[in-house]
Amino acid sequence: MSVLAIVLTTLLCTVLVIALAANLATTEKRLLYRPRRLYTSGDADFRRALGILLGPPLVSGNRITGLINGPQIYPAMLNAIRTAQVNITFESFVFRDAIGATFVAELADAARRGVRVHMLLDWLGSRTMDSRLLAAARVAGCDLQIYHPPSWYHLGRLNNRTHRKLLVIDGKLEFTGGAGMGVEWCDGCAGLPPWRDSHFKAEGPVVAQMQAVFVDNWIKATGRVLHGCEYFPRLPDDVGNMDAQMFGSSPVGGSESMHLMVLLALTAARTSIDIENAYFVPDKLTIEALCSAARRGVRVRIVVPGRYTDARVGRWAAQGLYGALLEAGVRLYEYQPTMMHSKVLVIDGLWSSVGSSNFDDRSFRLNDEANLNVFSEDLAREQIRLIDADIGLSRAMVLKKWRSRQIGRRVSERLALLLRSQL
């Protein structure tokens, strides 16, 4: 090999290493210490801290309604699209197959009848969607943008995906939660039932905060701002009796917001913590917060996917972390019937956080996420009822059995945990 070839090869390898490092690195300093326990979930200071530290304040007069699994979620969203009169904003990560095609058709119909339709789809999550259907939506009048497509001059953002799930109708009605647009949520796959997931319909002043979360990423994708009374109409503050806030997190601004919210909530728990999450690979601080809560007498229950998962490496990493949690008294359950995809956190039967965020580094530091926080005993009671039912369909993890797992599984867990920052 000539000297020139060696030099060129070395330069190419160097560029690739630098590009990979830039792609995997986060841009902001991470939380290094758990917040001190200064209040409980029922204290006014907890409410104040959520508003001050996370950004938007809590607003009252909202109604939040839960929707369970695709057969409930999709018809409610599609019916809402059909009622739109002024504008629709829609943001999603997973967007594919026949379900994606159904939503494209309805959104295109809305555009043809004069509704302004703004669609923001993540490149990675929508890459298998038929490009002809997306082109047809644009022809119909939809303003459809792809979030962070591959680009050699923007390699550093390739690892930053929008994981948000948002649909806002006329600035007055909003849907958010864990469900993407795919057949697994509606019909299941491989002979299994539909994926277990929770989505939520919101009405009231909090919808304006949800719209603002969408506009945040719309500006990043297009450089244009959506504003005015068409997108932010005056909203009644007596639709319901729930206090709520909607906030977004992103590695380019407020990357630690989601992580901070989780730590504040776990630290404030007084009697109970109930979690359902699809990708549960918590960092050291989150594990410490969960264990600390269990040791001070808080009942901590966590439901995660069992053998039916679309992220086997993530499951191995999670199982490698079970020991410390079980030793502290945390109750862990693996859901058996199908994939568990919910993202629900309930504290003390009083406060719930629902939305797109998982319990992992990817959601806490790499992805754009959005969560709806709600103070409502009624909503919390309903989520705990669903979690109780899911626990009845789950297998409880036992510390003695975990300690006696096979060598091969231990090796898989160790290797998976090496990728923890990307899971």
Catalytic residue at 170? yes
The catalytically annotated residue of 118, 122, 148, 170 is 170
Catalytic residue at 348? yes
- Give the H/E segment covering residue 337: none
CB 236 within 8 A of CB 204: yes
- Closest of 202, 275, 205, 210 to residue 247, by C-alpha: 210
Q: Which two tokens stand for residue 116?
A: 């302004």
CB 316 within 8 A of CB 289: no
The catalytically annotated residue of 118, 172, 199, 343 is 343
Query: Is 406 exposed, middle or buried (CB count within 10 Å of its CB: 0-12, 13-18, 19+)?
Result: exposed
134 CB-side CA count, 13 A: 19
Catalytic residue at 165? yes
Catalytic residue at 148? no
CB 358 within 8 A of CB 277: yes
Catalytic residue at 122? no
C-alpha 297/C-alpha 279 separation (Å) is 26
CB 222 within 8 A of CB 145: yes
Cβ neighbour number for residue 83 with a 10 Å cutoff:
11
The 3-state DSSP class for residue 238 equals: coil
The catalytically annotated residue of 243, 348, 361, 390 is 348
C-alpha 254/C-alpha 216 separation (Å) is 12
Catalytic residue at 118? no
Antiparallel, parallel or unpaired: β 359-360 and 280-281:
parallel
Q: Which two tokens stand for residue 354?
A: 């629902």
C-alpha 44/C-alpha 377 separation (Å) is 16
CA 294 to chain centre: 25
Q: Which two tokens stand for residue 93?
A: 């990560």
CB 352 within 8 A of CB 269: no
C-alpha 100/C-alpha 423 separation (Å) is 25
The catalytically annotated residue of 118, 148, 163, 220 is 163
C-alpha 189/C-alpha 198 separation (Å) is 18
According to DSSP, residue 422 is labeled G
The catalytically annotated residue of 148, 220, 341, 368 is 341
According to DSSP, residue 367 is labeled S
The catalytically annotated residue of 148, 165, 199, 220 is 165
C-alpha 370/C-alpha 206 separation (Å) is 13
Indicate which residues carry an active-site annotation: 163, 165, 170, 341, 343, 348
